[in-house]
Amino acid sequence: MYWYYNTFTKPDDPQTCLAYTQSAFASFNLIVRLTEGYTTVASAADNSVFVQVTCVPQAQDTWVVVTTFSDDNNVAETTQNNVRTDIQTTVRID
């Protein structure tokens, strides 16, 4: 089993970061799992990878952790990088 994780901050509240996460999951055809009742964690998977995104409120922003698990090293690394990049580059437009 291989796993990758990375952290970063976003200048948004945790719920907005989770909305970005849902969008990223959809972009990569990941099936959402284990989100009902959770306010700061979202998980998704397909047949080759499991992804968890945790959004932790901070004083001025949200700390985001993207973690992936897979039996395939390349899938774990690529999925982590793709989901992280998608969340990091999404900008809220009001």
Domains of the chain, CATH where assigned = 2-89 (3.30.310.50)
Which of 6, 4, 17 lies closest to 58, judged by CA? 17
Q: With helix as H, strand as E and coil as C, how does 33-45 read?
A: ECCCCCCCEEEEE
Question: How does DSSP assign 44-77, residue by residue?
Answer: EE-SS-EEEEEEEE-SSSEEEEEEEEESSHHHHH
Sign of torsion over alpha carbons 48, 81, 13, 53:
positive
- The per-residue pLDDT for range 23-80, each reduced to its tens digit, is 998 999 888 875 555 567 777 778 899 999 999 999 999 999 999 999 999 999 999 9
Sign of torsion over alpha carbons 93, 77, 58, 60:
negative
The pTM (predicted TM-score) of the whole model is 0.87
